[in-house]
Each structure stands twice: as structure tokens, then as C-alpha cells.
Structure 1
Amino acid sequence: MKRSRILVCTTLLVLYFCFIIFKLADIQLFSPDAYGPEKVNLLKKSVEQRITEIELSSGRGVLLDRFNKPLGTSKVEDIVLFPFLATMDLPPTVSLMLNQLAPMWQQQLKTIKKPIFLSQLLDKQISEDMVEQVKNADIPGMIAVRRDGTKDPTIAEHLIGLVRDNPKEYDKRYGDVEKSDRSIGISGIQKAFDSFLQAKQQEKLMYSVDAIGNPLLGLDLRYVGSENDYYPLKLSTTIDSDIQQMIETTVDSYGMKKGGVVLLDVRTNELVSLLSRPKMDTEQPFATDTVRNQMLTAHFPGSVFKTVIAAAAIENDEATVNNTYDCDLNVYGDGASDRKLGELNFIESFAKSCNYTFATIGKKLVGENNTIIETYADKLGLLGPVGWVGNIFHLNNFKQFPEEENGKIWGDVYDRSVQRAIAQTAIGQKEVKVTPLAVANMISTIVNNGVKREIRVVDKILYNNGTVMKQFPDHYQKENQLEKETAVKLKKMLTEVVENGTGSYLKQLSVAGKSGTAQIGKENRYNHWFAGFFPVENPRYVMVVVDLDQTNDQAKTYPIYQAIVKQLTSEGSP
């Protein structure tokens, strides 16, 4: 009996030791990278246990302006403090500096037990002198670094867009991928180019430590993710960050609440600057609708739209161009106008923005061809989309401005046969809506003698080493083009608006363009536009300024336009 008990116990011990040996072999040899039912990577976990680290960059692709300066986010100088620093004897000058800046720094490091940026302890940016002092001291555990600065863009926020952590949407877009950072672009360029900007590898500063968190002697810190020639990718945009900053400062100094500015390089039809107001509520961008880019949103254009009627008249009805019109009459011709302008010819009517003239011409043109207004809106590149659209790699109909709305002319098919509806449509009211980006494109089309091109905001996608991955070519729209002679006449008419018409506020500047004041369905509230180009003799820029949902006496369109033009055309301008 005693012998059998010994045999049983021996067998159990042997089986137990065999089990232990098998588990050790499974851990060490058979399944180190996928252990257990949850497939845990033991090798990775063991490394994580003996390494402390801090993220310097998310690894997400970066945006550059047209001069290769970082756009939106930036790199800042900072100092990393590792936890073991709290127990070290520091040089007196460094110790004094830390004690003066953050008296409780040692206790805080012991509490968090993780590396931290000194700027986080101080809640302010680190000075260059402090960074240099740390570099010269060469103290283990106190490292001067360059890291990602602000997470959200500091300029052109609506254009650049926001990036937010959203695992659910990330998995929907890219599949269920094992990745700690599931950030995605939720608006603007960040959303449009999200698949290209997705992080491949974070940039980290890593330090090997022992079981209680002290550094392992003889092992230096390591930078991870900073030596890849290809990733992260870079977007080379057409934005001039200096001009963008100048425009934002100017617009905000005038207190614009809703509206914005679009600035194009008329030679290339590239976007140089875009500003939208109100400013974005980055905490609740969608709940407050401040994420909406007003420059890509369709609005009532008012008299700016008379440019379309003028183009149609020039090319299709010489008699209307040679007539004179009683501009003391209202838009319908059945009563007195609020403005008594007297008898005006076609060019004078355009300059002084006579509603009766263009309502009369519009009714005649539509009576002869009921699609003529939309035909000429398209000839002028007004209806949209006007942003760059094309195939790129596996993406069909890729849009650089995915949030851009299309223009609209008619609200009801029957409006084309209703005289009062045609009259309202001809002066940019009723159901007419276009985006400020499209209005800028219309002016650019005229300046370029009827040549239509899509607007680009991203010129190239670059690898991390600066070589080109993808170039976005010019997209010319050759169908349904305006005649060159018509464009030349329209340029002269736009010049007359400033010389002798509604744009005379800008008369001292070399500017040509068209004004517009559109009723928006609220008492004493209007959209105030000015769309033009400058300098007149040798055009460089097309600019649209629109002050939306504003009273007549509070509109700042002209002062803002004037201030920006002066800065762009003065010596030493951005």
C-alpha cells in the first residue's frame, strides 16, 4: 500500500514536471510570438516590460506649404525627463533650473513613473537657452528633442482639417488592423488624403531599464521610426503660409463673423490661401457646425452672377448689348427701383449693377434658349466641382476638395417659364447658389481668356526623403469654353466696375472685379461679395471676399479686400 502511494506520487510529480517543461518549451520555443488563446506576442511583451519610451511623433504624414515649410502642425524643441532622473544627483546649475521652473518635479516624476516632456510639467513652451543648456550638460535621462507641436492646425484650419482618434471609423475605412493609434482625418485635406497620411511607424525615444525602472548601464537611448526614407509621406501644397497668416490677421482685425477669403494664383489656378469663418470649435466641430468650410459651401451670390448673363448676352444677342435700359425701374419693370440710376447702356448697367437691365436680358435669353444660363455658368467654370478631380492609384474620382458643394441655378424646372423667376435668377437670387471657390474660378477663367482649369491645393505627394511619389497635373476643361473675345470684353467690364461703378471703394488700387449683395431671406441680412483680380495690367491674383449673413452697414467686404490687396502688392509683401 505504501509502495503504491509512492508510485502514484512519483508519477504525479513526473507528469507535473513534464507539464512545466512543456509550458517552458511552448513559451520559449513553440509559441513565443502567439502564446495562448489570445495569441499574445511574448517576445514583444518582454521587450515592452524592460523599455520605457515617449512618443516624439505620431508618424502621420505632414503637410508642407509651397515653400516646403510645415503647414498646420510644427516641430518644437522640448526636453524629455525620464523617471530615474528623480533619484540622480544633478549638476547644481541644472538642479537649480528645474527647482525654479517646477519645484515639485521630482515628486511628479516618481508619481507618474513614465517619461514626460518638461513643457508638460511647466504647461508652456521650452526656451532655446534651456534646450542648449541641457544639450551641453549631457545628463542621462534628461534629453533635448524635437517633437510634434500642436495637434490641430494653427492656420487654415478649415482647409487643413482635423485629425481625431476614432477606432470605429478607422476599422471601417482600413479594416480591423492591430494598431494602437487609430487616428483619422475628419475634415479638410486631412480627410481627403487620409489614406496617404496614415502613420506607418511612430517616432519614439526609447530607454532600456531594469525591473525597478533604473537605466541599464551601457545601453544608450534609441530613436525609433526616424530613419525611413519613404514614410511618413509629405503633401506639397500650393498654400503660402505667410500670405495665409497675413490674411487671417487682417480678416480677424475687422471682426468678420461669417464668411471668408479665397485667393488663387491666376497663372496656375492654384489655391494660395483660403480662410473660413467662424473659427472652428475644435472641441465640438460637428455639433456647432463650425467645421463647415464656408468657401466650399454654396451661397446666394447676388449681382456677382450678372457676369454669367453678361457673357451669354455678348455671345448670343448683340441687340441687348447695344441697347439702353431705364434703370429707374425695379427688377420686374413694373415699379420704381430703390436706386435711381437713370438711362444706362449695357456696360454702365454692369458697372452700376442695374437689376432691371440684367433681368430684362435674362428673360429674353431664356425665352430663346431655356438652358442658356446654366450653359454659360458652366462656360465660366462656376457650377462645379471646380476642385481637382481624377484617378490616383486605386482611387477613382479622387477629390482634393471632397466637401465642395456644386452650384445650383434653378430650384424648379418650371421656373424657366415664369418671368418673375427668370428675372430673380438673372440677378443671382431665387434659387441661385454658388461657392466662393467657384466664383474665384469664374474670375480666373475670364482673366485666362476663357481657359478653364480645375483648382489644385496639393501639387505633389512626396516620400519622406523628398522624392516625388505622385504629381497632380493640370486639368484643363476644354468642353463648352468661353470665346476669347468675350473674356476680353468681360475683363474691361470688370475694370469699369471699379473705375465708375459699385466697386469704386477700390478705385485707388489696380483692381478689377464685380460686387454682389444678395438677400438671404432674413430681414436686413445679406451676403456681401467682391470678386476680382489684380494687378489689372499684369494679373497675379484672383481674390474673392464674402461677408455672409451681414447687415448693409456692418459689412466689411471692401475694407478687407483693400487691406489685403495693399499688403500683397506693396514692396516686401509676403
Structure 2
Amino acid sequence: MNRPIRTLSVGCLILFVALMLNLTYVQFFKANWYNDRADNRRVTEEAYSRQRGDILVGKKAIVTSEPSDDTFKWQRTYPGGKKYAPLTGFLSYSYGQTGIERSQNDVLSGKDDRLFTNRLIDLVTNSEPSGGNVELTIDAKVQNAAYDGLTALGDDVQASAVALDPKTGRILAMASTPSYNPNKLATHDFGAAKKSYDQLAGDDNEPLLNRSVQTALPPGSTFKLVTAAAAMEELDKDPDSKVYGGAVLDLPQSDKNLPNESGGSCGGDQITLTRALEVSCNTAFGQLGIDLNKEQMNEQAKKFGFGQKYLTDLPNQATSTLTDDLDKLDAAPFRAYSAIGQYNVKATPLQMAMVSAGIANGGTVMKPYLVNRVTSSSLDVIDQGNPTEIEDQPAVSNKTAEGLTEMMVSTVENGTAAPAAIPGVSVAGKTGTAQSSEERAPYAWFTSFAPAENPSIAVAVMVQKSGTARSDIAGGRLGGPIAKAMMEAAIS
């Protein structure tokens, strides 16, 4: 064989080997990655050709598939509509899957390995293959209270409400407004689906966003619960400890100071930690932030879930953070502002519900989860939610949790969280109003749990934008009544 032919042969061999390696890589190592892509049309077409499983709340299907008389065999429909859309997401031929439709796609489509026996039986009996069902942890009554409360705030509102079972981490409610009608995106009229999607994607209020887990904003004074926890754990404070309560806190290393929202003192130069939480005293918690070091603050926030990804049942979770750079908290002024939930502190509503839930659960924070049970089409249980702790050690001691609960109850009975009071029920709560900029209104926050002596629900409400006058925006005023309704729904 002459040299040119030999060179050409070697080159062809190299190309052939490269082709085989690439095919092996794509079809074996990357197969799941391609199958899991939301925009994989082949996967979507396959989903349209078989009966996809239901998504349920209790025994009621909030997402199901119905026979279709067009090109495709099945039409995905969403009886849960706008109320559940941020959770369920949608299945669209053009835009793929989101929400539970995406995270549980293998189960719903029937491709999950745990459904192998069912697929085999379908094959042997020549039955139409169908997907498994996904039952959510949602309590319909609490979800209704959350959604109704948010929509009652008005049309041009950006807000969210979340509820957890403190003992298990089960998500009892997760509502976000504005929402959208997923049926308009799942339609087989692709022109209409595109028109609806373009309208939603171009809406400044971002209705496709699940604000409960995909929006992280300064939590304002609700973060004072984390600061109080750190002070009780690291500085040996208790509900009766004296803290600074003056009108203005002089910030070291700075020519600025930190005032209280009211402009006056919080009841004297020295007040109890309980009083500081009742009136949401900026100067008291700012001083505690200065007294704590950056590692103590960061470790306490981390134990409650900050800086972590903990919700696997929904994609695209935003991370709650104490700061984008821990070294910045070397400066006392930045620690002071961080201690009151401002500066670089950002949290999702789910994260602030977890703070309350951890306190309610004696200091142990449970990992939140949304999928309660997975069943085959014949209703055989193939998987079930398993309560697990988010950290190897509690966020705070039982003693600290009891002290925080005592102070939060007093904040409802004697302080800013009064709008969440329920007659005959001991409620623990904390308000927050986070300043953002002069150009936009503050964010209103509220977090609570009940009954305080044996909690069955922990709640967080966040109002990012509303038509409320700037001077009337307050966490208790906007979020308190919604939280109250959600807690009443859970304990009634």
C-alpha cells in the first residue's frame, strides 16, 4: 500500500473511531441529559402519544390527560388552573415542561425505572401504556386560603405565600401571583400557545415566575429572628436580656447611623430582647449584629437553610443568602444592616417559612418537600415522601427555640404582628418591611406559626409589589391577614 492510500486509510479509521466514540457518548452517557431537557421535542411528542399520569392534591386531580381527537392522542389539561400553575408548571409541545411536570416527568410519562413492571404488563397484555401519578403534599384548604388572600390584594400585585408542616417539612401551600392559565400553553393549537406564551413572557409582572422559590429579596425584619437566634446561641441572650433600644445607633467605621423606622426610641435606652422583637427595633438588632462576628451570623443563617439548595421537587430554586461575600461583613456597619434583613441579605418566601418552622419544631429545620406519594396507574405506591433534617445538628437548641417562640407570641399579642391573632389560639409571628429603593415601594413580609404550644403549620407571606400607598406598606397590614387565614384553615 502506497503512502497516500495508507495515510487516507488511517485518517478514515480515526474519523470512524471518533464517530463511534461520539455516538457512544451521546447515546449512553448523555442520554438522560437530552431526555431531561425541557425543549426536547422528541420527548414531548412521546408524551403526547400516551396517557400521562395525574398530579393530585388529596384525591382530586389538578392535572390530568384527556383523549384528543386531533393529531395527538392525548390533551394535557389543568383543572387546578391558576391556583396551582406555579407548582404544576405546564407541558407544552413548543416550550417543554416546567414545575412538577418537569421534575416528575419520568414518573408521569411512565419511563421511570420503578414502573418497569407496569410497562412489562402493558406490553404482555397489549394495553395502552400510561404514566404514574404524583400526589402532592398540599392541603387544599390552606392553598385556597393562600391563593384567595393574595388575589384579594388586587390585580397588579406580585406576591407569594408558603406554608409548611414544621414537624415533617411537608409543603402545605405554595401560591404565587400573578399566575397564569397552563391550559393555554398546553393546547394543541400551537399558534394560540405561542401567542399566550409571548404575552406571558413579555409581562413585566412575570406571571410565569413562582415567587415562593424563584424570587429572593431582602426579608427585612423577619430576618431579626435569625439574628435573635444567633444572639441567644452565641451571646447568651434570653427573652429578658437587656439590649440597646435608643432612637439611633451610631455605626462604627462610618459617618452614618442606623435609625428606627419610627424615628424614636423603642421604649428606652435599654429594653428587653422581647420588647425589641415586639416593636421590631432596628437599633437593638443592629447592635446585636455588631456584637456578633461574621462567622457567627453566617453559621446561624446556614443552619436555617441559607446558602443551600434544598427543594428537589421543583426546578430553578433561587438561593437565599446572607451575603454575596462574607468578608464584607468584617465591617460593623454591614453586619448591623444585615442583622435587620437589609444590605445583601436575600431570602425566598420558602426560606423564611423554614425559619419559623425550625423554631416551631424545637430548633430542628426539616427539608421541605412537595411530592407526598408516587403511584403506578393501578395505584400501587412506588415511592413516598420521607421527612429528613436539613442539617446534621439543630439550627438552635430547644431552649433557644422556646425563647424565640415566647417572644414571637408576645409580638402577636403585644406588638406589630397583631393582625395574625386568632381568638383562642396562641400564635407566634414576626413582621418585616424591607426597604428597596426610592424608586420602588418596600417589600412587605410576614412569618408565623400556630398553635404555638404544638405547631402544625408555619407560614411566610411576601408582597413584592401592590397598589398600596408607600406609607401604608407594612408586613403586618398586608401579610398578617393572609397568614391568619392560612393558619385558621390548617387548624380548623
TM-score (norm 1): 0.63
- 2:171 is aligned, of 255, 266, 271, to 271
Residue 316 of structure 1 is matched in structure 2 by: 234
- 2:276 is aligned, of 337, 349, 372, to 349
Q: CA deviation at 1:279?
A: 1.9
Amino acid at match of 1:294: R
> Which runs of structure 2 are paired with 1:249-328 in the superposition (5 Å)?
249-255=148-154, 257-280=157-180, 283-284=197-198, 285-288=200-203, 289-296=206-213, 297-318=215-236, 322-328=241-247
> CA 1:460 to 1:228, structure 2 compared with 1: closer, same or farther past 3 Å?
farther
> CA 1:115 to 1:402, structure 2 compared with 1: closer, same or farther past 3 Å?
closer
> Which runs of structure 2 are paired with 1:7-406 in the superposition (5 Å)?
59-65=51-57, 67-73=58-64, 149-150=77-78, 153-166=81-94, 184-185=96-97, 187-198=98-109, 231-255=130-154, 257-280=157-180, 283-284=197-198, 285-288=200-203, 289-296=206-213, 297-318=215-236, 322-330=241-249, 332=251, 334=257, 337-339=260-262, 340=264, 341-343=266-268, 344-366=271-293, 370-387=294-311, 399-406=312-319
Whole-Å separation in 2 of the counterparts to 1:480 and 1:568: 28
Whole-Å separation in 1 of the counterparts to 2:83 and 2:63: 6
Query: 1:72 touches 1:157 (CA, 8 Å); kept in 2?
Result: no
Query: 1:416 touches 1:422 (CA, 8 Å); kept in 2?
Result: yes
Whole-Å separation in 1 of the counterparts to 2:176 and 2:355: 19
Whole-Å separation in 2 of the counterparts to 1:414 and 1:570: 44
Segments ≥4 residues shifted beyond 6 Å: none
Whole-Å separation in 2 of the counterparts to 1:56 and 1:423: 55
Q: Number of residues paired by the alignment?
A: 401
Whole-Å separation in 2 of the counterparts to 1:419 and 1:502: 27
Whole-Å separation in 2 of the counterparts to 1:491 and 1:567: 19
Q: CA deviation at 1:147?
A: 7.9
Whole-Å separation in 1 of the counterparts to 2:462 and 2:132: 35
Amino acid at match of 1:198: S
Whole-Å separation in 1 of the counterparts to 2:64 and 2:479: 27
- 1:234-289 deviation digits (Å, cap 9, x = unpaired): 01111123432343223212216001110112332201111111223752344444
Whole-Å separation in 2 of the counterparts to 1:336 and 1:571: 38
Q: CA deviation at 1:501?
A: 1.4
> CA 1:442 to 1:337, structure 2 compared with 1: closer, same or farther past 3 Å?
closer
Query: 2:322 touches 2:344 (CA, 8 Å); kept in 1?
Result: yes
Query: 1:228 touches 1:464 (CA, 8 Å); kept in 2?
Result: no
Residue 562 of structure 1 is matched in structure 2 by: 481
Query: 2:446 touches 2:460 (CA, 8 Å); kept in 1?
Result: yes
Q: Residue 460 of structure 1 aligns to a residue in which SS?
A: strand
Q: Residue 295 of structure 1 aligns to a residue in which SS?
A: helix
Whole-Å separation in 2 of the counterparts to 1:503 and 1:331: 28
Unaligned runs of 5+ in 2: 1-46, 112-122, 182-195
Q: CA deviation at 1:484?
A: 1.1
Q: Over the residues paired in the alignment, what is the CA RMSD in angstroms?
A: 3.5
Whole-Å separation in 2 of the counterparts to 1:323 and 1:572: 35
Of residues 335-344 and 509-518 in structure 1, the stretch that sits farther from structure 2 once superposed is 335-344
Whole-Å separation in 2 of the counterparts to 1:326 and 1:243: 38
> CA 1:506 to 1:243, structure 2 compared with 1: closer, same or farther past 3 Å?
closer
Structure number with higher relative contact order (C-alpha < 8 Å, ≥ 6 residues apart): 2
- Identity rate, percent: 24
Query: 2:51 touches 2:65 (CA, 8 Å); kept in 1?
Result: no
Greater Rg over alpha carbons, structure: 1
Whole-Å separation in 1 of the counterparts to 2:475 and 2:241: 35
TM-score (norm 2): 0.72
1:533 and 2:449 matched: yes
Amino acid at match of 2:461: V
- 1:384-424 deviation digits (Å, cap 9, x = unpaired): 3232xxxxxxxxxxx21222111111233442221211111
Amino acid at match of 1:562: P
Whole-Å separation in 2 of the counterparts to 1:436 and 1:147: 33
Whole-Å separation in 1 of the counterparts to 2:422 and 2:147: 23
Amino acid at match of 1:405: A
Whole-Å separation in 2 of the counterparts to 1:338 and 1:566: 28
Residue 399 of structure 2 is matched in structure 1 by: 485
1:418 and 2:317 matched: no
Whole-Å separation in 2 of the counterparts to 1:558 and 1:155: 23
Q: Residue 349 of structure 1 aligns to a residue in which SS?
A: helix
Unaligned runs of 5+ in 1: 1-54, 81-113, 117-145, 167-182, 201-223, 388-398
> CA 1:154 to 1:354, structure 2 compared with 1: closer, same or farther past 3 Å?
closer
